[in-house]
Structure 1
Amino acid sequence: MCESEDVTHATQAILAKNDGLAARLRGDLALRGVSVVNLLSSPGSGKTELLGRVLARAVERGIPVAALTADLATENDATRLARSGAPVKQLLTDGLCHLEARQLRGHVEDWLPADTSVLFVENVGNLVCPASYDLGESLRIALMAVTEGADKPLKYPTAFGSAHLVVLTKTDLAEPADFDAAAFESHVQRVNPGVEIVRSCARTGEGVDTVLERVLAVRDGAPVHRPPLAPRPHPGLTADHVS
């Protein structure tokens, strides 16, 4: 067996193990009445700012939410999100470019407030590796800013193709960024037919209520959009990562 086949089999084993852990976590959280929302985007998409607004709106409405935010270093995002009034915890990945179900389980068991009904997970800013890892989420949201270019969904088909909801951020910058909205929507539908696209602007509040309502609908049992089975890329892991 060649080295590339070894790596492929090791990667498949890693993903299969993660999928099993994620399935068990999803079931355990369902028994507790907790829905997980997994937020995926590249750095600079405005994900933290939008999430902060959504958390604040939920707190205003008395909805028991919490957030876990992941980054390679610093606790800056947790500090920002905590201003919403919701319970927030920072997860430092020590260089790992994505979250895995085993990491989430540990924090859920050790920290998640008992009355939480929705846990938002702000994944590491990266549209490659995080897309391959199920975290036991009920809803996966892929976000991108208008400043990133309309072809982003075609460049990262796994992230956008596995999303139950797509959020376009920083829409107030669409004109100066010369953003082609029609092309973007076409590209999204190409990789994920039928998925809803929500336009948002944290500065004006556009889309904040819509995102929260979509999350609450899923929490309350509404069916999610079922995306096509997007191929999962091999993130270059080795057998050393399997434990």
Structure 2
Amino acid sequence: MPRVTIARHILAANEEVAAEVRQRLAAAGVRCINLMSGPGAGKTTLLERSVARLRGRLAIGVIEGDIETSLDAERMEAAGAQVVQINTRGACHLEAHMVRDALEALDLQRLDLLFIENIGNLVCPAAWELGEDLRAVVVCTTEGDEKPAKYPQIFAAAQVLVINKLDLLPYVDYDPERVRAQALAVNPGLQIFTLSCRSGAGLDAWCDWLLSFAARPPAVPAQAAPVSQEEGAAS
């Protein structure tokens, strides 16, 4: 039977670049959150509201990942964030080299917190480190309450879960407690926020947490050892 040997982990090159990004952000004292969700869950509106509420208290930058257009980046700029747009032209997730290149357009010395708004996708982004300190997943009341059960990998890879669009609960068949239970079954350590960007409910707690998170000093990671052919081999 023919054998195919994978001599190096397929994501090893990406992880090396992610480590570079993390080192650079840590040296500048900037905390970084990789924000992930399916399309339409409200990532951009959450960022828009957060930037506006924290203006004058927290200097926020945003790397906007979209397949096409700069519409979301324009919204972030209007809210008061430093912004860089990445258009992937069809790719379903951001990769670390894209983030590394985007950092060249940001004044990191004038930032406290950097958000990377990933492509709307609950599958691919989970596998790709971008140099973030933390991953947050956004779900919403209009997309069904089975997402943690159906897409467990992205919830397992995250540290924070945001349940958004609570103002629509009277009009949809959605059980936030079911979502919470499913998510905690996948990842018992998840910190969970429930909020509505439209009504403002829950945004104070979210923004207070962002202030606390940004105030923590970044941990500078140790340089990863190279992957040997023996360690990375598979058949």
The TM-score range, normalised by the shorter chain, is: 0.7 to 0.9
Deviations 1:174-202 (A, max 9, x none): 22112112211110111111312101111
1:112 and 1:96, CA in 2 relative to 1: closer, same or farther beyond 3 A?
Answer: farther
The size of the alignment, in residue pairs, is 219
Aligned amino acid, residue 62 of structure 1 = R
SS in 2 for 1:147: coil
Which residue, out of 161, 165, 168, partners 1:170? Answer: 165
- Give the drift of 1:160: 0.9
Q: Is the 8 A contact 2:44 2:72 kept in 1?
A: yes
- Give the drift of 1:113: 4.4
Q: Is the 8 A contact 1:127 1:156 kept in 2?
A: yes
Task: Note if 1:68 corresponds to 2:63.
Answer: yes
If the length of structure 2 is used for normalisation, what is the TM-score?
Answer: 0.86
Aligned amino acid, residue 47 of structure 1 = K
- What's 1:129 paired with? 124
Q: Is the 8 A contact 2:84 2:105 kept in 1?
A: no
SS in 1 for 2:35: strand
Q: Is the 8 A contact 1:54 1:209 kept in 2?
A: no
- What's 2:213 paired with? 218
Task: Note if 1:22 corresponds to 2:42.
Answer: no
1:178 and 1:106, CA in 2 relative to 1: closer, same or farther beyond 3 A?
Answer: same
SS in 2 for 1:62: coil
In structure 1, what is the Cα distance between the partners aligned to 2:40 and 2:144? 13
1:220-239 aligned at under 5 Å gives the runs 220-221=215-216
If the length of structure 1 is used for normalisation, what is the TM-score?
Answer: 0.83
Q: Is the 8 A contact 1:150 1:179 kept in 2?
A: yes
In structure 1, what is the Cα distance between the partners aligned to 2:57 and 2:208? 14
- Give the drift of 1:209: 2.6
Aligned amino acid, residue 19 of structure 2 = A
Tell me which structure has the larger Cα radius of gyration: 2
Task: Note if 1:50 corresponds to 2:46.
Answer: yes
- Give the drift of 1:125: 0.5
In structure 2, what is the Cα distance between the partners aligned to 1:2 and 1:67? 47
In structure 2, stretches of 5+ residues that fail to align are: 219-235
Q: Is the 8 A contact 1:66 1:120 kept in 2?
A: yes
1:128 and 1:2, CA in 2 relative to 1: closer, same or farther beyond 3 A?
Answer: farther
Report the RMSD for the aligned CA atoms in angstroms: 2.2
Q: Is the 8 A contact 2:51 2:81 kept in 1?
A: yes
1:158-197 aligned at under 5 Å gives the runs 158-197=153-192
- More relative contact order, 1 or 2 (CA 8 Å, 6+ apart): 2
In structure 1, what is the Cα distance between the partners aligned to 2:152 and 2:2? 28
